[in-house]
A = this chain, B = another copy of it.
């Protein structure tokens, strides 16, 4: 569905948001551990997210990552655009250069509604809304033994 970078970014951002609510600013190694991502890789990904303006960071003792409380919520479509380019479900499932009802592929008719549902999902849900869901419903960001 999404690539690894997007998955780690999603889980990482949600973890950071959750910690921010507890007045904490987690660092790269904590995030890596808690979302089960490769430590150096998540470090690089979080750096990129800061450069993109999704996150803020502080160096040195007590440093770490946090959300700017003044900024609006981040729809995950924005995250996906940043991590994988804006291909976000606009393309043709069949490989045509563009998905166009004037030149549809044989999957077009049935695929378009699915694409629209996906686009709706990633437009409506935000990092913050997902974090809230995790918090309220006690969900896990990693595999859990039952």
Contact = CB atoms under 8 A, between A and B. Distances in A.
Contacts of A96: 142-143
Contacts of A58: none
A11 B94 contact: yes
Given A102-B146, A103-B146, A8 B110 contact: no
Nearest to A118: B114
**Size bin of chain A's contact surface:** 35 or more
Interface stretch (A26-34, A47-55, A133-141): A133-141
Number of copies: 2
Given A125-B107, A140-B103, A8 B95 contact: yes
A117 interface: yes
A139 B104 contact: yes
A82 to B, nearest CB: 17
B143 A103 contact: yes
B94 A106 contact: no
Contacts of A131: 106
A53 to B, nearest CB: 23
